[in-house]
């Protein structure tokens, strides 16, 4: 019986610490934005990095991608990413891509995908967001904005 009481006390203490930590945040929405993955890296070849929350690390298969992440590939690098709505993106050498906005809650009709590619190449295959609400998907380049109305396109942005 003593073991169960001890375990219960530990759980209660952990729960209290979690509540205090959540209350210290300005809003639960920000906590979700900071921690919830919106996709995952599915393929990496050569030099590829992910920068998020001010830290840059080498990209690895299975690594979570969060909102605001900067995805970069080197001169011989490439990377493939799948988002939670099944959007598939493949980046070629010397690419830089930033996920600015992402909302995928079809039940509440909150759908949005906005991103920027500043250099390199991107092979984009639309997921559920583009199928349900095509006008909610946009890709910005240094010289213009692509409104996604189809399911597959390629982009090349020069240096």
At residue 18 the predicted structure's pLDDT band, cuts being 50, 70 and 90, is very low
**Mean pLDDT, residues 49-75 taken together:** 96
| Res. 69: pLDDT tops 70 | yes
pLDDT tops 70 at residue 46: yes
Q: Average of pLDDT values for 80-104?
A: 96
**Residue linked to tokens 């919830």:** 36
What is the pLDDT, as a whole number, of residue 152?
Answer: 87
pLDDT at 35: 62
**Which of 21-30, 48-57, 136-145 has the least mean pLDDT?**
21-30
Q: What is the mean pLDDT of residues 100-120?
A: 94
DSSP state for residue 142 in the 8-state scheme: T
Is the pLDDT score of 28 beyond 90? no
Question: What are the beta bridge partners of residue 70?
Answer: 51, 98
Of the chain, the percentage scoring pLDDT greater than 70 comes to 77
Q: Cα separation of 124 and 45, whole Å?
A: 18
Domain definitions of the chain by residue range:
1-35, 37-157
Q: Which residue has the higher pLDDT, 14 or 85?
A: 85
Query: DSSP characters for 61-97?
Result: TT-EE-TT-EEEE-TT-EEEEEETT--EEEE-TT-EE
Contact 142, 101 (CB under 8 A): no
The pLDDT score that the predictor gives to residue 145 is 82
């Amino acid at each position: 019986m003593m073991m169960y009481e001890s375990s219960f006390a530990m759980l209660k203490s952990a729960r209290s610490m979690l509540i205090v930590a959540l209350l210290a945040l300005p809003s639960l929405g920000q906590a979700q934005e900071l921690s919830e993955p919106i996709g995952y890296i599915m393929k990496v070849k050569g030099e590829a990095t992910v920068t998020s929350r001010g830290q840059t690390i080498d990209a690895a298969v299975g690594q979570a991608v969060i909102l605001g992440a900067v995805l970069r590939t080197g001169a011989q690098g490439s990377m493939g990413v799948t988002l939670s709505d099944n959007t598939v993106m493949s980046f070629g050498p010397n690419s830089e891509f930033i996920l600015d906005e992402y909302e995928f809650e079809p039940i509440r009709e909150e759908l949005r995908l906005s991103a920027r590619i500043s250099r390199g190449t991107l092979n984009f295959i639309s997921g559920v967001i583009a199928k349900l609400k095509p006008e909610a998907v946009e890709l910005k380049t240094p010289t213009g904005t692509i409104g996604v109305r189809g399911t597959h396109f390629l982009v090349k942005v020069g240096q």
